[in-house]
Amino acid sequence: MAETHSEIAILGAGFSGLAMAIALRRAAPALGLPADGGGVAVFEREPRVGGTWAVNRYPGCACDVPSHLYSLAVAPKADWSRAYAAQPEILRYIEDVARQHGVGPELRLGCGVASARYDAAAGRWRLRSDHGDEHTARVLISAVGGLSRPKLPKIAGIDSFEGPVLHTARWDDAVALEGRRVAVIGTGASAIQLVPPLARVARHLDLYQRTPAWILPRHDGPIAPWVQRAMARWPLLRRLRREALRWSMDARSLAFVHMPWLMRAVELQALRHLRRQVPDLALRRALTPQYRIGCKRILVADDYYPAICQPNVTLRDGGASAIEPHGVRDHDGALHPADVVVLATGFEATKPLPEGVVFGPGERDLARHFGDCPRAYLGTAVAGFPNLFMLVGPNTGIGHSSLLLIIEAQVALVTQLLRWMHDDRLRTVAVRADAEEHYNADLQQRLQRTVWGSGCQSWYLTADGRNPTLWPGSTYGFERMTATLRRSDFTVETGRDG
């Protein structure tokens, strides 16, 4: 089998992997890398770039962060067509960004990494691709994203269903839904986007709800062409719009993190939205959440409630108790026929990396090391795993603003680490265990009073209620925290070869 080598290997070509590849190109001279992307290999399992935006292709898929904030600072876009961009426009944007920044030679598309093992004697990561090819790299950067592994529900009899079973993140366009009876399991962010377009084409849609979600109005709509032109002509306008969005969204972190009681005012707004859109009292009651708003991700939708009120849609409150070859049993045991089952059941958010993939020195499995509750230093470095950096690692998720702001802050931090390695000819860099410990003790302390711990079950939390996913603060706070590299928090080995 062929063996190749690069200074840096990146796992994943979604937003974070590409942002990293772009930063490496921009900093290439300072890092001793060729300017043409040489020295960097980006491994991506899918045949195209885009990450979560390439695989989530279900009807209605869109972002719930406003477009002008859901774009990279290094790749501004003036002509977003809608206040909240839909998946095809975001995917096009990602592809354009890669092209405009020349990211291409470093891409290994359709080439997943089956395993990455640290070879301490050689000071190299040894990667084996899904095709069995070997690759070595001095530094490994995981950019696999927090929501990349679909969560498949353990519903009795699910394997016995005779029709197609689709997960929202593994959509198959070949499965026809027009005129069919569709069962949708789950009522989270993906489901509320999927239900309206599905209800328009399905003969009947049964929606299995386990927990009603809090939903705010989305206020989506097209951005007028003259506004797009003005933003292109006067970049300051676009920047002002972005900053205004960022400030207003970040201000919410105060309520999420420090004053959960303030969320009551937001609950009233959501209840008003529900009252306006759902006239039927019994249905309204079934759709009224019983937990503090913000504890699970707050959803935004203008067309979800109206879709549920359509005559061909039935809300099956209480969830699905079993699946049989030709239908789904509701909470009360009644069987409802279905031709297709759609699982809108989310992701393995607290375990984004499976076991058996990344092994540090001494064959230590990173996923096992993480156990049920992953932790890292600034969500980026893990004690005991030299020359490994993570993007969108533990506690970097953000419920109230754009994850891309966090990603760019992490990319800047990793670039600083790489620059240090280059300048001081370092063989290895690893975060110190006590620095990681100290950082996480502080983090968990701050997480204690947040709305996420106010008593609901969500994908943010582990089964025992710990929070390994979210950053308890503002995007500005994360940026400040990661802006200056504290070298004393790391141990290094000098004497780099090559």
Binding site residues, ligand NA7, CB under 6 A = 147, 153, 155, 168, 185-191, 208, 210-211, 297, 319-320, 344-347, 459
Phi, psi (rounded to 5 degrees) for 190:
-70, -45
Q: Smallest distance, Å, CB 459 to ligand NA7?
A: 4
Q: How far apart are alpha carbons 191 and 9 in whole angstroms?
A: 35
Q: Which is nearer to ligand NA7, 345 or 410 (CB)?
A: 345
Minimum distance from CB of 486 to ligand NA7 (Å)? Answer: 30
Instruction: Of 16, 37, 42, 14, give the one whose Cα is nearest residue 26.
Output: 37
Q: How far is the CB of 114 from ligand NA7 (least distance, A)?
A: 26
Radius of gyration, CA atoms only, the chain: 23
Least spacing, CB of residue 146 vs ligand NA7, in Å: 9
Q: Do 326 and 242 form a contact (C-beta atoms < 8 A)?
A: no
Q: Return the number of the residue (147 or 430) whose C-beta is nearest ligand NA7.
A: 147
Integer Cα distance of 329 and 335 in angstroms:
4
Which of 37/145 has CB closer to ligand NA7? 145
Residues 253 and 447 sit within 8 Å (Cβ to Cβ): no
Distance CA 415, CA 382 (A): 17
Q: Which is nearer to ligand NA7, 140 or 287 (CB)?
A: 287
Residue that has been written with the tokens 């239908």 in this structure: 327
Q: How far apart are CA 211 and CA 61, in angstroms?
A: 21
**Which residue number, 25 or 218, has a Cβ lying nearer to ligand NA7?**
218
CB atoms near residue 35 (< 10 Å): 11
CB of 6 to ligand NA7, least distance (A): 31
Task: State in angstroms the smallest separation of the CB of 209 from ligand NA7.
Answer: 7
Q: Longest Cα pair distance anywhere in the chain, in angstroms? A: 72
CA dist 497 → 34, 122, 125 (Å) = 18, 10, 14
CB of 319 to ligand NA7, least distance (A): 4
Cβ of residue 285: shortest distance to ligand NA7, in angstroms? 17
User: Shortest gap between Cβ of 152 and ligand NA7 (angstroms)?
Assistant: 9
Judged by beta carbon, residue 46 or residue 493, the one nearer ligand NA7 is 46
Q: How far is the CB of 443 from ligand NA7 (least distance, A)?
A: 20
Q: How far is CA 389 from CA 138, 142, 198, 417, in A?
A: 12, 6, 40, 9
Rounded-to-integer distance, Cα 253 and Cα 90, Å: 25
- Residue nearest ligand NA7, CB atom distance: 188
- Calpha distance 179→454 (Å, rounded): 42
Shortest Cβ 203–ligand NA7 spacing (Å): 22
Q: Which is nearer to ligand NA7, 63 or 103 (by Cβ)?
A: 63
Nearer to ligand NA7, 13 or 189 (CB): 189
Residues 172 and 204: their CA atoms lie apart, in Å, by 20
CB of 402 to ligand NA7, least distance (A): 11
Structure tokens at 464: 């025992």
The answer to whether the beta carbons of residues 6 and 135 sit under 8 Å apart is: yes
Pick between residue 72 and residue 323 the one whose CB is nearest to ligand NA7. Answer: 323
Judged by CB, which is closer to ligand NA7: 66, or 346?
346
Helix (H) or strand (E) holding 353, with range, is none
| Helix boundaries (H) for 202-303 | 225-233, 235-251, 253, 263-277, 281-286
- What whole-number distance in Å separates Cα of residue 140 and Cα of residue 461? 27
**Residue (151 or 419) nearer to ligand NA7, CB:** 151
**Which residue in 73, 24, 40 sits closest to 408, CA to CA?**
73
* Cβ proximity to ligand NA7, 142 vs 350, nearer residue: 350
How far apart, in whole angstroms, are the C-alpha atoms of residue 379 and residue 387? 14
Q: Is 464 exposed, middle or buried (0-12, 13-18, 19+ CB in 10 A)?
A: exposed
